[in-house]
Amino acid sequence: MAADVRSWWARRSLRLRLTAAAALVMAAGLAGAAFLLVAWLHASLINGLDQTVLQRAQVVAADEDSSRITAEVPATSHAEAAVQIVDGRGKVLASSANLRGRPRAFTFPASRSGTPRVHTVHDIPEHDYGTWRAVGIPAGTSRDPVTVYVALPTESVDRGLAQLTVALATGVPAVVALLTGMVWLFTGRALRPVDAMRAQTAEISASDLSRRLDVPPAKDALGRLATTFNDLLGRLDAATRRQRRFIADAAHELRSPLSTLHTRLEVADHHPESVHWPTLAPELLRETERLNHLVDDLLQLARLDARPRLRLRPVDLDEIVFTEVREARSRTRLVIDQHAVGAARLTGDEDALARVVRNLLDNALRHAATRIDISLRTAHDTARLVVADDGPGIPEADRERVFGRFTRLDDARARDTGGSGLGLAIVRDLVTAHHGTTHVEDNSPGTRMVVLLPTRTP
């Protein structure tokens, strides 16, 4: 029950965190957008108001000259506009109706540039409005110059922006709340397949790696994740099956010599008077040698599976071949011809390459009828090592299978001659570790084991 509660809370906590993060991002984005909108709209409205003020001032200036100025400026379409015409001594010559009888309201000088500057004016004396946008432009004649001042209140702009700000302050949280609810729903729906995958993954154990996750129908990232995870499970399943099969085969191979040793020693223990030790001792020694060879091969494969670092250095492969041929000749009467061995220098692990040559020679010794031919040559940055025998040969259908572990094409004869079925598997693994390849060719009669190794470090 506690585990279920923790699992539920973990899923809900992730959903809450995702939703909270999305809400914060949306709130920040909408608030920033609202602020930019208000700022842009304020600047746009003020600019429009400035253009109106300037146009009105230009109209008034065009209609008035010092000889025709009356005490009151004619009414305009902008009833709230404040207009004053001031002479060079600062005396108010005329004004709009809303400034009639009022003192001078504008003190800044007239703009002489091509684009008159608009000023912000506060608290025009004895007037109801607070903030104005005002401009002053020169008018009249050179003998009687005057300045035309025109101002418009910003109240309508401020009131509209205040209403918009209130609307945004009310609407943005509502929109954020709505979008947060939608994110909560969509997140729950999006995480539902993830939770299903988690539950299925929790049910997969090391003893049953054959199970797979359900792949969502949508071709999205989640579907690709499920497919990738299924591929990983497939590789783990194959590796586990291969490891179990290897352990079973190893146990079977070890049991045979151990059973032989145990049986013969048990008979000798129960019937010591019937034991002929000069005959029994060599037989027991052969079984222990076979057992020692098998354990050595198993240890080598275990090290290769662990992917150890090879001790790479420049080595002469031809010298390794000559050394292993001398050792093989001491164990057989078969002809071993090495006249076709040429110089081949490459970068590799000397002990590993010696094991490759030794295993190929051991395999050839077990199957050759009269002779073994070895050749070694280098071409196009590749060393080609060939160990050929004149034995029964390997059928074409089995030429890849012979490199598998515990593979014997003639099981009974291989056991009698001491083969464990691991020699060629070790050869392939060691050659692959050197970035090389191995394959089998027809020798007519017999078999040609071919090893290709790069002479330059990949």
What sign results for the dihedral spanned by CA atoms 158, 159, 162, 167? negative
Bridge partners (DSSP) listed for residue 450: 386, 439
If pLDDT is split at 50, 70 and 90, which confidence band does 324 have?
Answer: very high
If pLDDT is split at 50, 70 and 90, which confidence band does 1 have?
Answer: very low
- Are residues 304 and 429 in contact, defined by beta-carbon separation less than 8 angstroms? yes
CA dist 220 to 157, 199, 216, Å? Answer: 50, 20, 8
pLDDT of 412 above 50: no
If pLDDT is split at 50, 70 and 90, which confidence band does 280 have?
Answer: confident
Spatial separation of the C-alpha atoms in residues 414 and 421, rounded to whole Å: 8
Taking only the tens place, the pLDDT of each residue in 137-170 is 888 777 788 888 888 888 888 888 888 888 888 8
Spatial separation of the C-alpha atoms in residues 310 and 318, rounded to whole Å: 19
Q: Given this model, what pLDDT does residue 283 score?
A: 74
If pLDDT is split at 50, 70 and 90, which confidence band does 71 have?
Answer: low
DSSP state of 208: B
Find the length of the chain: 458
Question: Parallel, antiparallel, or unpaired: how do β-strands 371-379 and 335-341 relate?
Answer: parallel
- Are residues 392 and 367 in contact, defined by beta-carbon separation less than 8 angstroms? yes
Spatial separation of the C-alpha atoms in residues 133 and 119, rounded to whole Å: 6
Spatial separation of the C-alpha atoms in residues 335 and 263, rounded to whole Å: 38
Taking only the tens place, the pLDDT of each residue in 208-260 is 777 777 777 777 777 787 888 788 888 887 777 777 776 766 676 677 777 77
State phi, psi for 456 to the nearest 5 degrees: -110, 145
Report the C-alpha dihedral over residues 14, 20, 21, 26, rounded to 10 degrees: 150
Bridge partners (DSSP) listed for residue 389: 372, 447
State phi, psi for 77 to the nearest 5 degrees: -65, -20
Rg (CA), the chain: 50
Nearest to 127 by CA among 187, 80, 159: 80
- Are residues 82 and 151 in contact, defined by beta-carbon separation less than 8 angstroms? yes
CA dist 90 to 66, 105, 126, Å? Answer: 14, 11, 19
- Are residues 152 and 132 in contact, defined by beta-carbon separation less than 8 angstroms? yes
Spatial separation of the C-alpha atoms in residues 453 and 99, rounded to whole Å: 105
Q: Given this model, what pLDDT does residue 424 score?
A: 87
Spatial separation of the C-alpha atoms in residues 206 and 353, rounded to whole Å: 36
pLDDT of 410 above 60: no
**pLDDT over 90 percentage in the chain:** 16
Largest CA distance in the chain: 158
Q: Given this model, what pLDDT does residue 206 score?
A: 67
